[in-house]
Every structure is written in structure tokens, then in C-alpha cells.
């Protein structure tokens, strides 16, 4: 559809890569709000994180292909298409993984919560600076750093998430202010059909892809028939990549600037729609699968049987650097 509407292969590839991204926060919030538990919930939690990583990889390849076409008249070679994404992805893996290991080691010696916040944000900004300097993916570097920390020690990951979330509201305001500043309302009439096609085909791709994957993987009907409904939300990663494309393609003259403006406007406009529909569809999916409230019901059953005394949580890091024994 993008090819037919824009007459551009690389524009279609860019939108295809961005369409694979999902907003994990919105999906996880709905699952937590309704105390969902079961095969569908478990699969959703795994997929919403993985498809963002996949979106970053696909975008790196699609952006490199687009840059090759914008920079020269002839079609790019396979080496030209793959060289830049491999360097970008490999560099992000090295920087993010290295900083993740460093942050984990530092957190092992950290007792004061305020110091943990300073070190976490400092490592994040250092990773962003390195990625910016060497042309790596800022988003992928940050994601890899978080993956390494949380898998080496979930408790450290929880503390880092808590400390960074303290500054979250300010970051969100700045982020969406930058997005809004680049949004051109005058382009809405001309991109209306493309935006509608993007929403419809993205949703269809999510439904069919989830069903096909579930069928091939032998997932039970409750999972394969409802998984696509939980993957409609779109926010952070897609908008972040749209911003990156706007800055990235502006170096290639008027054609590149037009491509960047089109991408950021379509993604921003469609995000308003899918962020309304997405959480509703997640609730519908877990309702159809019969998983609403199952976490609470199972917890109450365990308590009544005397199996546990209550929910077990990791102790928070003491802000003064001391732990109660």
C-alpha cells in the first residue's frame, strides 16, 4: 500500500519496519490493572519486548537501504545495504552490553539509592553519547544495556527502573514536546489515505502474523486467536525511530527532508488512534481468553490453602544505605 500511495520502495520499507513496533508500557499496564494471568498473558509479555528489538533491527536495514537510494541514482548493492546496519547493530550490542556489565558491577557495590540514580542515568547518557559519536543506534544501545542488567540480576534491574522512573515525567514531556514541534498539521489532508492504510494494514499484519506464528508454533487457540489484539499499541519506540529518521534523512536534501517529515507525521498521527484502540483491544483479548483476574484468584487460593502468607517482593534499596535485618 505504501508503494502504491508514495511510489517509493524505501518509504514502504521504513513504514513496514516501524509497523512492527509495539508499546510495551500500555500493554503491561492493562495486564497489571486487570490482574491477568495465563498463557496469553505470558506470551504477550514476551512478544511486546521482542518485537521492539526486532523493529530496531528492521529499521536499521530499511534506513540503510533508503540512504543508499537517496545518495545515488542506481540501486544499492547487497554489501551497501548490509554494511551500515551490521556496523550499527554490532556497535550497539558492544556498547550496550559493555555498559550493562559495568552498571551491574557498580550496582553490586551500591547501597545508597540516590547514588544508584546518578550512576544509572550517567551510564545511560554515556551510552547515548558513544552511540551518537560512532553512528550506532541510541535506542538499541539503551535497550541492550537494560537487558544485560536485568538478566544478570533482576533486583538491580528493578532498582534501576525505579530510579529512572523518578525522572520519567520530565523526560516524557520533553520527548513528546519535540515530537509535537515536528508535527505539521498542514500535511494531514495529503497523508490521510496513507495514515488509514498504515493503521488498517498494520493491524491486519499483527492479527495474521500472530495467528500464523501461533499456528506454526502449536500454541493453544486462546493464544493464537487473541495475541494479535494485544499488539496494536504504538508509542515510544516507533515515535523515537520516526524522530531518528527525520534527523537522519534530512542530510539528503529536499527528498530526504520530505521523507523524514512524512514518516514523523504519519507515525505521530496514527499513534493517537492506536493508543486509544490498543488498550481496549488488550482488555478484549484477555477477556476472550478468560485470563482477567486469574492472578488474584490464584493468589487468594494459595493463601487460603496456607501455601504462602502473601505476595513476595524484593526489598527496596534503602535510601540511606542501610538495610533492616
- The conformation of residue 134, written as its DSSP 8-state character, comes to H
Q: In the prediction, which pLDDT does 321 show?
A: 46
Q: How far apart are CA 105 and CA 224, in angstroms?
A: 40
Any residues with CB less than 8 A from the CB of 281 and at least 6 apart, and which? 229, 230, 232
Assigned C-alpha cell, 266: 504519519
Lowest pLDDT segment from 50-54, 137-141, 218-222, 321-325: 321-325
pLDDT average, residue stretch 294-305: 51
Q: How far apart are CA 274 and CA 5, in angstroms?
A: 21
Q: Is residue 267 part of a domain?
A: yes
**pLDDT > 50? residue 307:** no
C-alpha cell at 147: 537487558
CA 6, distance to chain mean position in Å, is 26
Residue 119, C-alpha cell as written in the block: 550512576
Residues found in the chain: 325
Give a yes or no: residue 151 inside a domain: yes
User: Which tens digits make up the pLDDT trace of 208-247?
Assistant: 988 998 888 888 888 888 888 888 888 777 888 888 887 7
- Whether residue 315 is predicted with pLDDT greater than 50 in this model: the reply is no
The residue whose grid cell reads 537501504 is 65
Residue among 23, 26, 40 at smallest CA distance from 292: 40
pLDDT band at 41 (very low <50, low <70, confident <90, very high): confident
pLDDT per residue as tens digits for the range 94-135? 999 999 898 888 877 766 556 677 787 888 889 989 988 887
pLDDT of residue 94: 92
| Structure-model confidence comparison of residues 26 and 267, the more confident one | 267
User: Per-residue pLDDT for 322 more than 70?
Assistant: no
Name the grid cell of 250: 534530512
Q: Please check whether residue 294 lies inside any domain of the structure.
A: yes
pLDDT digits 0-9 by tens, 62-80: 887 787 777 765 566 677 6
What three-state secondary structure class fits 307? coil
Residues 6+ apart with CB under 8 A from 11: 2, 3, 66, 259, 262, 263
126-134 CB contacts, 8 Å cutoff, 24+ apart:
126/99, 127/95, 127/96, 127/99, 130/95, 131/91, 131/92, 131/95, 134/91, 134/95
Residue 12 has pLDDT above 60, yes or no: yes
Q: Give the pLDDT score at 179.
A: 66
Spatial distance between the Cα atoms of 226 and 230, rounded to a whole number of angstroms:
7
Instruction: Give the pLDDT score at 98.
Output: 92
Give domain status of residue 169, yes or no.
yes
pLDDT of residue 304: 53
Residue 314 domain-assigned (yes or no):
no
Q: Mean per-residue pLDDT for 154-166?
A: 68
pLDDT of residue 163: 67
**Residue 251 belongs to domain spanning:** 2-301
Does residue 320 have a pLDDT over 70? no
Indicate whether 106 belongs to any domain.
yes
The whole-chain average pLDDT of the chain stands at 77
Q: How many domains does the chain have?
A: 1
pLDDT at residue 251 above 60? yes
What whole-number distance in Å separates Cα of residue 269 and Cα of residue 180?
A: 10
Cα dist. 198→40, 66, 95, 216 in Å? Answer: 26, 19, 34, 26
Angle CA(263)–CA(238)–CA(194) in degrees, nearest 5?
40
User: Which triple of cell numbers denotes residue 233?
Assistant: 499499541
Amino acid at each position: 500500500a505504501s508503494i502504491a500511495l508514495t511510489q517509493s520502495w524505501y518509504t514502504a520499507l521504513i513504514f513496514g519496519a516501524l509497523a512492527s513496533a509495539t508499546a510495551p508500557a500500555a500493554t503491561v499496564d492493562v495486564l497489571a490493572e486487570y490482574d491477568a494471568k495465563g498463557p496469553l498473558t505470558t506470551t504477550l509479555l514476551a512478544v511486546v519486548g521482542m518485537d521492539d528489538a526486532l523493529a530496531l533491527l528492521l529499521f536499521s536495514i530499511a534506513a540503510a537501504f533508503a540512504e543508499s537510494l537517496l545518495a545515488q541514482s542506481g540501486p544499492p548493492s547487497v554489501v551497501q545495504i548490509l554494511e551500515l546496519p551490521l556496523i550499527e547493530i554490532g556497535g550497539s550490542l558492544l556498547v550496550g552490553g559493555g555498559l550493562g556489565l559495568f552498571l551491574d558491577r557498580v550496582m553490586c557495590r551500591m547501597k545508597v539509592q540516590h547514588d544508584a540514580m546518578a550512576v544509572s542515568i550517567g551510564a545511560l547518557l554515556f551510552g547515548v553519547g558513544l552511540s551518537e559519536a560512532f553512528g550506532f543506534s541510541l535506542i538499541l544501545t539503551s535497550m541492550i544495556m537494560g537487558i544485560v542488567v536485568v538478566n544478570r540480576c533482576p533486583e538491580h534491574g528493578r532498582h534501576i527502573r525505579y530510579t529512572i522512573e523518578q525522572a520519567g515525567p520530565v523526560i516524557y514531556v520533553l520527548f513528546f514536546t519535540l515530537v509535537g514541534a515536528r508535527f505539521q498539521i498542514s500535511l494531514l489532508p495529503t497523508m490521510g489515505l496513507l495514515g488509514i492504510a498504515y493503521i488498517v494494514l498494520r493491524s491486519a499484519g499483527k492479527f495474521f502474523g500472530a495467528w500464523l506464528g501461533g499456528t506454526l508454533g502449536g500454541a493453544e487457540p486462546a493464544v493464537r486467536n487473541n495475541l494479535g489484539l494485544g499488539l496494536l499499541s504504538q508509542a515510544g519506540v516507533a515515535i523515537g525511530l520516526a524522530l531518528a529518521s527525520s534527523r537522519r534523512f534530512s542530510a539528503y536534501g529536499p527528498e530526504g527532508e520530505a521523507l523524514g517529515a512524512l514518516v514523523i507525521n504519519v507515525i505521530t498521527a496514527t499513534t493517537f488512534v492506536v493508543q486509544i484502540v490498543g488498550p481496549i483491544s488488550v482488555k478484549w483479548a484477555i477477556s476472550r481468553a478468560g485470563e482477567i483476574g486469574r492472578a488474584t484468584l490464584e493468589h487468594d487460593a494459595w493463601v487460603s490453602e496456607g501455601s504462602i502468607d502473601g505476595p513476595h517482593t524484593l526489598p527496596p534499596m534503602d535510601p540511606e544505605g542501610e538495610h533492616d535485618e
